[in-house]
Structure 1
Amino acid sequence: MTQQQAVAVNASGDTSRWGREEEVSRKADVGERQPLLQRGASASSSRADQPAKQLSTRHAFAVLVSLQIGSGIFASPAQVDSNAPSPGAALLVWVLGGILSWAGASSFAELGAALPLNGGMQEYLHHVYGDTTAFLMAWIYIVGVKPSSMAIQSIVIAESIGSISSANPLAAWKLKLMAALAFVAMVAINSINTRTTMRLSESFTAFKIVTVVLIVLGGVTAVIAHTIDSNSSFSGAEDWYSKDWFHTRPTISEGHIIDWSSISTWERYGHYSAAIYAGLWAYDGWDNANVVASEIIDPGRSLPKAIKAAMAVVLSCYELVNIAYYILLPWDMMSSTNAVAVQAAKSLLGRPAGIIITLLVAISCAGSITSNVFAVGRLIVAASQRHYFPSLFYKRGLPQFGKKRRHDRVDDSPSEQPIPAVNISTNTSFIDAPIYANVLSASITLIYISTGSFRALLTFVGMAEWVFYVSTVIGLIILRRREPNLPRPYRPSLLLPIAFVVVGSLVIIRSAMFAPIQSGVLAGLLAVGTLVSKLRG
């Protein structure tokens, strides 16, 4: 019995479940999967630090839903609406984003089932393209994408609280301070152990679904109230029943009025790309169960099931919530605030409802930060295994000083006596989170919070993520031809990855031209990463 299992037994008093999970784990790890994960790491450190399989389909589902239903659905509607000519077009963008994300998630489910390795995209890119591409992905995600995403979520928490705590907008430095404090608190909570994080993730998922249900019920209430009495004060804003949902109207994007009747097709395409990116960022997170695939029990079956269920739930929630927003708010207000959910609640039931929704939105964003801290910590650990980052970041738990106690030693020797139950309240092995990795990601995120804005960070994150999403799915197509005998417990139609690659590539190309600053920053990071990769080689 390993040390982690001994801790778990002491916590739950149940050894039979661990026995069943070990049997499944041995069956799931046959072949070359484990050596591939451990390539670049010493055998002894891999054996000692490799996490136990303790995540079920339910846990993977909770991680995916918790990541996707976060700040995006409560803030991205403003960015989507400002870059779409009508509410109807904006709703179609949300459907397109959901379908495209679903196609990507299905493709990643095939890869995760065939190569159940911690690190997700990093490991797939290494397997297909080699070391440099995998290093670039780890570099961009660890120093750019994940910190930017967590900064956005923290900013939304601060803006939501600020929107009801003061009649006037709070000063920028106050919002940034609130965002930083909220983020640091979430990192601290999620630096205890995996069990704590999973329990938090499941709890946050429940809060997220409750928030979505309340907003949708608000829209339904407004429709019913208007049907009974057209002059009812609970019928929401009048735009939803007095205007054509597909009628083109001017919108405001980054302070500029867009006259959709006079702009060129090329400009229109650029705005659509920006809208799609905002929607895709709201759906972002569908790949993160793959990051911890080796910790999932029987990933060949569990991972596809979790991804399918999560994508169905999230797509439905997003479409219904956005319809509710257009019912509850005047259409010219949709693009003017990042706290859309709070404004929608206040418009229907006043300030008390706004306070309740604000708290729920803050909890939802905190849940997304929880899942992101969990995912990026494991990504840094996987990158350290391949020596992309110093080995310090591979360590889990608190720093150890002096000689270790006997029960802290991990030894798989058959002659070793079983490790006795450990008092988890006093033993540092209870803390199995990647502390050093969490400190690294937290430090970078705080820089983004202090220097970045919501919309600039949003565009950068979208472009950076989709460059590697598309590259990874192209790799899946390559593997179908190069390694046809690779075990694939889950194998979707080839049309899904092909459609994902085509649409994703078009969006990347146009968005890069439409946002030269963010694309320049991304190109610079890629250049620096390539140079660092060559130097370390």
Structure 2
Amino acid sequence: MDGTQEDSDSVLEGQALPKPGPTESEPLLARPASSPSEAALQLPKQLTTRHAFAVLVTLQIGSGIFASPAQVDSNVPSPGAALLVWALGGLLSWAGAASFAELGAALPLNGGMQEYLRHVYGDTAAFIMAWVYILGVKPSSMAIQSIVIAESIGSVTPNYSAVRASGQLKLIAALAFVLMVLLNSINTRFTMRLSESFTVFKLSTVGLIVLGGLLAVTAHLLNPHSSLSGSSDWYSRNWFQTRPTVSDGRTIDWTAMGAWDRYGHYCAAIYGALWAYDGWDNANVVASEIRDPGRALPKAIKAAMMVVLSSFELVNIAYYILVPWERLSSNNAVAVVAATSILGQPAGILITFLVVVSCAGSITSNVFSVGRLTMAASQRHYLPALFTQQGLPGGRAAEDSSASSGYDAPIYANALTLAVTLVYILTGSFRALLTFVGMAEWVFYVSTVVGLLVLRRREPQLERSYRPTIVLPITFIVVGSLVIIRSAIFAPVQSGVLAGLLFAGALISRARTG
């Protein structure tokens, strides 16, 4: 996560936060309701179908669509296969959104996924999730977004290869992240305004890329030799023909690869697509606040997922039209390359600016959410009390958090986020981090949807104003589990780090409870 997504007991990559307060982004901060009915009083039914549709679309269209295509393309044998992976990612996200919406309607608890895990499995599961998100998922997501900023800036420089080889991109990524943390450590109101302003840039960038693809197709139809027709690959080559791709600096020969290895690469590709779609898990928030969810929510989810899936397919088709196919798998700043290839350096600089701003928006949302999550975990004694400190060290937070002059940001929590994320930036690569984030998030996503089936059997008396067919959660669990298992084998380093975090979290939780 954009997408993210930014990032469900996370604020997922790339979306603007509507307002501060107890949301999905700060799962431990709100007081747990003693019952679903009590929690429902805390969440007024104020959203219509149109509102729910807008929320779900905005959450999912984030920075991931500018960064993930290379991860997907490098791990599949053809552009056609890549488009199928994007469709599969959209369908999986659709099934997940429907499942989370049922949980949101049945258990409208402030805290979303983390509170569902607590309700189904107990406090240990909720603690482990907070631990992994604070030290793993959120910092890795922000490291990915910072790396995309650096790659985008580097890709418009004339000596990009030399800059990348020298390690300067790591420095740019680290400096970009430090700047974003400093900006987000002023106060809450400033953070919210900053986040809201980024949404327009994200949507504008997506629209411009699709428009560029349409321009190239139109130019080619009018004049096959036009310089505006993008790469010749899209009209001269078979979209489903196997061709070599580049992954982590090495060329993959698909014709000499066995089925088991292909499966591993496809799992890595699916994680790339799923990270871009991230944001669907906020359907549970929509379910808790929508009027007449049994009727309105299916419409909102169906419409939102169709729009997002179609948008992502169109953007990726545009990439394959604008960028030579052999370059797409090796460049994490594919949006910049696409713009430069058809309209030259000025267009590349414009798209670079838009992508950088979009990723900065995702980082803003993530810094906001993980800071509040860290504070809340500290309030529950999951972390030292130091991390509850707001405002400047030695000073005090503003009495009124809405005051624009008050320094009410979680300074020590942000400092922890800064330190951990810099480690990921300096030691990790874009694709390794993306696989790690995918595995970590989907362990909890699948566990939560398993909890939905447990609740259907254990607590059938719960009022479920929205209940999708059981095929959707079962499909989500089966496919998600297969992807997690194969990815864990395919990427032993990332799975080892995740296993270590899970094990450490379990030990600490056990020590806490005695």
TM bracket (short chain): 0.7 to 0.9
**Could you tell me the percent identity over the aligned residues?**
70
**Bigger mean CA offset, 244-253 vs 164-173:** 164-173
**Bigger mean CA offset, 72-81 vs 296-305:** 296-305
Cα 1:205–1:361 shift into 2, 3 Å: same
Which residue number in structure 2 is paired with residue 206 of structure 1? 200
Which residue number in structure 2 is paired with residue 335 of structure 1? 329
Answering whether residue 105 of structure 2 is matched by residue 126 of structure 1, we say no
Supply the distance in 2 between the matched residues of 1:285 and 1:380 (Cα, whole angstroms). 20
Q: Secondary structure at the match of 2:111?
A: coil
Correspondence for 2:89 among 97, 107, 110: 97
Supply the distance in 2 between the matched residues of 1:60 and 1:185 (Cα, whole angstroms). 33
Supply the distance in 1 between the matched residues of 2:291 and 2:375 (Cα, whole angstroms). 20
Which residue number in structure 2 is paired with residue 359 of structure 1? 353
Could you tell me how far 1:145 is from its partner in structure 2? 0.7
Supply the distance in 2 between the matched residues of 1:480 and 1:490 (Cα, whole angstroms). 13
Correspondence for 1:165 among 157, 164, 167: 157
Answering whether residue 424 of structure 2 is matched by residue 424 of structure 1, we say no
Correspondence for 1:32 among 22, 30, 35: 35
Q: Secondary structure at the match of 2:254?
A: coil
1:121-520 mapped onto 2 (5 Å cutoff): 121-169=113-161, 170-171=163-164, 172-288=166-282, 310-394=304-388, 408=399, 424-426=403-405, 428=406, 433-520=409-496
Q: Which has the larger radius of gyration?
A: 1
Superposed CA deviations along residues 328-384 of structure 1, whole A, max 9, x for unmatched, are 111111111111111111110110010000001111111111222233233334433
**TM-score, normalised via structure 2 length:** 0.83
Aligned amino acid, residue 115 of structure 1: L
Could you tell me how far 1:56 is from its partner in structure 2? 6.8
Cα 1:106–1:34 shift into 2, 3 Å: same
**Bigger mean CA offset, 260-269 vs 329-338:** 260-269
Cα 1:59–1:34 shift into 2, 3 Å: same
Correspondence for 1:523 among 477, 481, 499: 499
Cα 1:97–1:526 shift into 2, 3 Å: same
Aligned amino acid, residue 32 of structure 1: S
Superposed CA deviations along residues 127-173 of structure 1, whole A, max 9, x for unmatched, are 10112221111111110011000100011001101111343332554
Supply the distance in 2 between the matched residues of 1:293 and 1:445 (Cα, whole angstroms). 30
Which residue number in structure 1 is paired with residue 100 of structure 2? 108
Cα 1:108–1:191 shift into 2, 3 Å: farther
Unaligned runs of 5+ in 2: 1-31
Preserved contact between residue 439 and residue 488 of structure 2 (Cα < 8 Å): yes
Q: Secondary structure at the match of 1:91?
A: helix
Q: Secondary structure at the match of 1:165?
A: coil
Supply the distance in 2 between the matched residues of 1:287 and 1:304 (Cα, whole angstroms). 15
Supply the distance in 2 between the matched residues of 1:307 and 1:258 (Cα, whole angstroms). 38
Aligned amino acid, residue 238 of structure 2: D
Preserved contact between residue 69 and residue 316 of structure 2 (Cα < 8 Å): yes
Supply the distance in 2 between the matched residues of 1:211 and 1:446 (Cα, whole angstroms). 27
Could you tell me how far 1:499 is from its partner in structure 2? 0.8
Preserved contact between residue 147 and residue 430 of structure 2 (Cα < 8 Å): yes
Q: Secondary structure at the match of 1:261?
A: helix
Preserved contact between residue 112 and residue 303 of structure 1 (Cα < 8 Å): no
Supply the distance in 2 between the matched residues of 1:323 and 1:423 (Cα, whole angstroms). 44
Cα 1:471–1:282 shift into 2, 3 Å: same
Could you tell me how far 1:386 is from its partner in structure 2? 3.3
Cα 1:345–1:194 shift into 2, 3 Å: same
1:77-88 mapped onto 2 (5 Å cutoff): 77-88=69-80
Supply the distance in 2 between the matched residues of 1:117 and 1:382 (Cα, whole angstroms). 16
Could you tell me how far 1:60 is from its partner in structure 2? 7.9
Cα 1:439–1:33 shift into 2, 3 Å: farther
Cα 1:501–1:128 shift into 2, 3 Å: same
Cα 1:424–1:382 shift into 2, 3 Å: closer
Supply the distance in 2 between the matched residues of 1:289 and 1:201 (Cα, whole angstroms). 20
Cα 1:298–1:61 shift into 2, 3 Å: closer
Could you tell me how far 1:36 is from its partner in structure 2? 8.1
Supply the distance in 2 between the matched residues of 1:59 and 1:200 (Cα, whole angstroms). 22
**Bigger mean CA offset, 197-206 vs 314-323:** 197-206
Q: Secondary structure at the match of 1:525?
A: helix
Could you tell me how far 1:527 is from its partner in structure 2? 1.4
Supply the distance in 1 between the matched residues of 2:282 and 2:327 (Cα, whole angstroms). 33
Preserved contact between residue 328 and residue 344 of structure 1 (Cα < 8 Å): yes
Could you tell me how far 1:436 is from its partner in structure 2? 3.7
Cα 1:373–1:305 shift into 2, 3 Å: farther
Preserved contact between residue 151 and residue 449 of structure 1 (Cα < 8 Å): yes
Could you tell me how far 1:432 is from its partner in structure 2? 5.0
Could you tell me how far 1:35 is from its partner in structure 2? 7.6
**Bigger mean CA offset, 468-477 vs 525-534:** 525-534
Q: Secondary structure at the match of 1:287?
A: helix
Indicate the RMSD between aligned Cα atoms, in angstroms: 3.3
Supply the distance in 2 between the matched residues of 1:367 and 1:300 (Cα, whole angstroms). 32
Could you tell me how far 1:390 is from its partner in structure 2? 3.0
Supply the distance in 1 between the matched residues of 2:466 and 2:282 (Cα, whole angstroms). 17
Supply the distance in 2 between the matched residues of 1:299 and 1:150 (Cα, whole angstroms). 34
Could you tell me how far 1:66 is from its partner in structure 2? 5.5
Could you tell me how far 1:82 is from its partner in structure 2? 1.2
Cα 1:123–1:499 shift into 2, 3 Å: same
Could you tell me how far 1:260 is from its partner in structure 2? 2.1
Preserved contact between residue 33 and residue 39 of structure 2 (Cα < 8 Å): no
Preserved contact between residue 68 and residue 282 of structure 1 (Cα < 8 Å): yes
Preserved contact between residue 105 and residue 287 of structure 1 (Cα < 8 Å): yes
Superposed CA deviations along residues 272-324 of structure 1, whole A, max 9, x for unmatched, are 1111111111222332575x789x86698599887666544432221110000
Aligned amino acid, residue 403 of structure 2: I
Preserved contact between residue 119 and residue 379 of structure 1 (Cα < 8 Å): no
